[in-house]
Amino acid sequence: MRKVLLGAAAAFALTAGTAAAQGISGDVVKIGVMSDMSSLYADVGGPGSVAAAELAVKDFGGTVAGKRIEIVQADHQNKPDVGSSIVRQWIDSEGVDAVADVPTSSVALAVQQVLKDKGKVFLMSGPASSDLTGKACSPTGVHWTYDTYALAHGTGSALVKQGGDTWYFLTADYAFGHALERDTGDVVKAAGGKVLGAVRHPLNTADFSSFLLQAQASKAKVIGLANAGGDTINSIKQAAEFGIVAGGQRLAGLLVFITDVHSLGLKTANGLVITEAFYWDQNDETRAFAKKFEAVMKKKPSMVQAGVYGAVMHYLKAIDAIKTDDGKAVVDQMKKMPINDFMTKNGKVREDGRVMRDMYLFEVKKPEESKGPWDYYKQLAVIPAEEAFRPLKEGGCPFVKG
C-alpha cells in the first residue's frame, strides 16, 4: 500500500512537473478502459473493449515515443457517480492519461466533465448521446464510433422513407434514451411524419409487456426502440410475443448491436434495419481485425470494441507525432491527422470532437440467408459522414467558433 501511495505521489508530481515540459508524464502512457463489465452492455463493450485496446497497443509495438504503454481497466456499473470517482482516482493518483470506451451516456457525460476539468483525453466509443459533441463537448473529448444523431438519420430516415410516418417511442429513461428519442423525433418530423407519443422505461427492465401494450394502443406505424442492449433484446422478443409485428406495426431498433442480434437469433431479429459503424464481414481488412479479436475473445467484435481499437491507435499515433501526452496537445494533433484504419477511410476528428466517418445501413438476414453464426447482416446503404452526423454549427458546442 505504501509503495502504491509513493508511486502515485511520484506519478502525480511528475504529471504536474512535466505538463510544461511537454514530455510523457510519468514515463508511461496509461490508458484506462472503463466499461460496463458485468451488466447489460458488457457484451457490447466490456472485457472485449479492454481486449481491443490491448490489441491496439500490441499492434502499435508496445511503446510510444520510447515510453511504455499501459492499459488499466474498471467497471463503472452504469452509474455516473461510480464512473466519475474512478476517473478522478485514476487521474489524481494513478497517472492515467486517457480514458477509453465508457458506454452508457449518463456515465460518459459525467466522465466528460471530469476529464475536461483535468485536461485529459477521452476516447469515447461506447456512449451514444450526441450531446457529447454538442452542448457537453470538451476540447479533450473525441467521440469515435457513432452517436444518436447518426442512428436517427440512418435507421430513422430509412423507415420514414419506407412509409413509416407515425411513431411511438419506447425510451430508456436516461440521457441516452432521451437523446435518441429527441434526435429520431426530429428526423421523423422533418420528413413530414408525426410522433404520437412515448413511454419511458427504467434502464435494465425485464418485462416490457405493459409498455408494448401502450405502444400497440397508440396505433403508430412504427414503434421506435430508443434503448439498447438487454432492454432492446427483451423489447423485440416480447413484441413478437404480443403480435405487434404480425399486427402490422413495425419495430425500429434504433441502436442494435451485432451481439444483440446474436443473442436474439435470426428467427426473431430478421428484417430489422440497423445503423452501424462497422460490421466484421465488410471486407478483408475488417475480417482480419475480427480474426485477431476472435483469437482473444472467442467471438466477433461489436462496433464499440472495433472503435476502441481505432481510437486508441489514433491516440498513440498522435502522441508519437508530437512526443507528448499532454491532453489538449494530443487531441489537437488527433484533429490534424486523417484517420485511416480497417473501419474508417479518410475520416477526421472534427473541431467539436466528433469523428466524421461513413456509417452503414444494414438489414438483418433471414435465417435461410445466413451461412452460420455471426453471418447476420446485408448492407443496404452507405451513409456518407456529412449526412450521418450533425452539422458542426447545429451542435451548440460552446468552444466552436463561427
Partner 1 sequence: MFELLGIPPQALFGQLLIGLINGAFYAMLSLGLAVIFGLLNIINFTHGAQYMMGAFVAWFLLNSALGLNYWWALLIAPIVVGITGIVIERLLLKRIYKLDHLYGLLLTFGLALVIEGLFRNYYGSTGLPYSIPPQLAGGHNLGFMFLPNYRAWVIVFSLAVCLGTWFVIERTSLGATLRAATENPTLVQAFGINVPRLITVTYGFGVGLAALAGVLAAPIYQVSPLMGSQIIIVVFAVVVIGGMGSIMGAIVSGFGLGVIEGLTKVFYPEASNTVIFVIMAIVLLVRPAGLFGRAR
Residues of this chain that bind partner 1 (CB under 8 A): 38-44, 46, 173, 199-202, 204-207, 209-211, 213-214, 216-217, 229-230, 233-234, 237-238, 241-243, 247, 259-260, 262-265, 267-268, 299
Report how far residue 34's alpha carbon sits from residue 304's, in angstroms, rounded to the nearest whole number.
Answer: 12
Three-state SS across the chain?
CHHHHHHHHHHHHHHHHHHHHCCCHHHEEEEEEEECCCCCCCCCCHHHHHHHHHHHHHHHCCEECCEEEEEEEEECCCCHHHHHHHHHHHHHHHCCCEEEECCCHHHHHHHHHHHHHHCCEEEECCCCCHHHHCCCCCCCEEECCCCHHHHHHHHHHHHHHCCCCEEEEEEECCHHHHHHHHHHHHHHHHCCCEEEEEEEECCCCCCCHHHHHHHHHCCCCEEEEECCCHHHHHHHHHHHHCCCCCCCCEEEECCCCHHHHHHHCHHHHCCCEEEECCCCCCCHHHHHHHHHHHHHHCCCCCHHHHHHHHHHHHHHHHHHHHCCCCHHHHHHHHHHCCECCCCCCCEEECCCCEEECCEEEEEECCHHHCCCCCCCEEEEEEECHHHHCCCHHHCCCCCCCC
Residue among 372 and 391 whose Cβ is closer to partner 1: 372
| Shortest distance in whole angstroms from residue 217 CB to partner 1 | 6
Residue among 42 and 255 whose Cβ is closer to partner 1: 42
| Shortest distance in whole angstroms from residue 378 CB to partner 1 | 21
| Shortest distance in whole angstroms from residue 270 CB to partner 1 | 13
Residue among 17 and 367 whose Cβ is closer to partner 1: 367
| Shortest distance in whole angstroms from residue 117 CB to partner 1 | 30
Q: Is the CB of residue 147 less than 8 Å from the CB of residue 128?
A: yes
Residue among 68 and 79 whose Cβ is closer to partner 1: 79
Round the CA-based radius of gyration of the chain to a whole number and report it. Answer: 21
Burial class (CB in 10 A: 0-12, 13-18, 19+), 104: buried
| Shortest distance in whole angstroms from residue 90 CB to partner 1 | 24
Smallest CA-to-CA distance from 272 within 304, 228, 236, 230 is with 236
| Shortest distance in whole angstroms from residue 111 CB to partner 1 | 21
Report how far residue 61's alpha carbon sits from residue 319's, in angstroms, rounded to the nearest whole number.
Answer: 13
Residue among 114 and 364 whose Cβ is closer to partner 1: 364
| Shortest distance in whole angstroms from residue 264 CB to partner 1 | 6
Residue among 298 and 401 whose Cβ is closer to partner 1: 298
Residue among 85 and 263 whose Cβ is closer to partner 1: 263
Residue among 20 and 206 whose Cβ is closer to partner 1: 206
| Shortest distance in whole angstroms from residue 173 CB to partner 1 | 5
| Shortest distance in whole angstroms from residue 276 CB to partner 1 | 16
Residue among 61 and 243 whose Cβ is closer to partner 1: 243
Amino acid at 256: V
Residue among 224 and 229 whose Cβ is closer to partner 1: 229
| Shortest distance in whole angstroms from residue 189 CB to partner 1 | 23
